[in-house]
Amino acid sequence: MARRPALSRRLLTTASWPLGIGLTSWDYMWRSTPMHRRETVTGPPAGNPTLLGFPAGVSREEVQGADRGHGPLFHRRYRTDIRDPRISDKELMAMVKSDPNRPAPTTFARFQKVLGGEGTMALGDEYVVRMPGPWDGPVRVIDVGERFFRFATLDGHLEAGQIEFRAAAREESGLRFEIESWARSSTWLSNLLYHNLRMAKEIQAHMWISFLEGVVALSGGRMTGGVDMETERVEDFSGGR
């Protein structure tokens, strides 16, 4: 599948900003899903965390790794448990991989595939996550399996790092779906918006909580315990500026 012209993509996205920002704000104000937040400050990660590594044989061209970022390194986890799902963890992930828009909150965040075949997800595929305002996020699939897939951010993304989506069976709760990332802001401006003003942080949290709600609906089960959100901030990360 060929990449779509950058100008036409940008014009389409810009035209959707006013409506998208309004819908995002409205959804955020009326959110009713229980959220459990924990935020801590930690030292440098021991060794090389999995999500900062890079699988062999995958192109690093245009990849925006955490070493190229600005400000603190953030390790984030968003997770929820699903009781009485109608499908297995592998079936659920197969549905998500076939089209990430199925669980995505498409009124304000949409996965646009710009490289790779439709209806499947493979190494090297690329997407742009379209969001209102200047939040578009180009990513590349750098690892994928039956129960998970992982993206690396590309040039132009507001973040520099990696994010993984995974599903797992749990005896006590049916399924668990988790989104985990290791990333820094890609520029001083995005660091200001995310870390200092917290604007981008709240938009990001709203997006991934909504994604988890969509995953639960897709599974046919019900959310139990709300959404658990954990953030570890590494102030003295030595991998970048």
- Please report the DSSP string for 76-111 in residue order: EEEEEEEES-SS-HHHHHHHHHH-TTTTS-TTT-EE
241 occurs within a structural domain: no
158 torsion bin: left (phi>0), alpha (psi -120 to 50), beta (else): alpha
Rounded to whole angstroms, the Cα distance separating 110 from 19 reads 14
**From edge to edge, which strands make up the β-sheet containing 126-130?**
35-42, 222-234, 70-83, 174-185, 159-170, 148-153, 137-144, 126-130, 110-115
Where residue 32 sits, what CATH number does that domain have? 3.30.530.20
- Which residues are 127's β-sheet partners? 113, 139
Establish if 135 belongs to a structural domain: yes
Domain-located, residue 74: yes
Q: Looking at the domain assignment, is residue 1 inside a domain?
A: no
In a domain, 34, yes or no: yes
Within a domain: 114? yes
Domain count, the chain: 1
Q: Which of 22, 207, 218 has its CA nearest to residue 103?
A: 218
Would 179 be classed as within a structural domain? Answer: yes
pLDDT at 51: 66
Whether 76 contacts 37, CB under 8 Å: no
For residue 235, give every residue at least 6 positions away whose Cβ sits within 8 Å of its Cβ, in sequence order, or none: 41, 72
Can you give the pLDDT at residue 199? 57
What is the extent of the structural domain holding 83?
Answer: 6-234
Q: How far apart are CA 50 and CA 47, in angstroms?
A: 9
Residue 239: inside a domain, yes or no? no
Instruction: Output the pLDDT for position 106.
Output: 87
Model-wide pTM > 0.75: yes
- Which residues of the chain carry a pLDDT beneath 50? 1-21, 26, 240-241
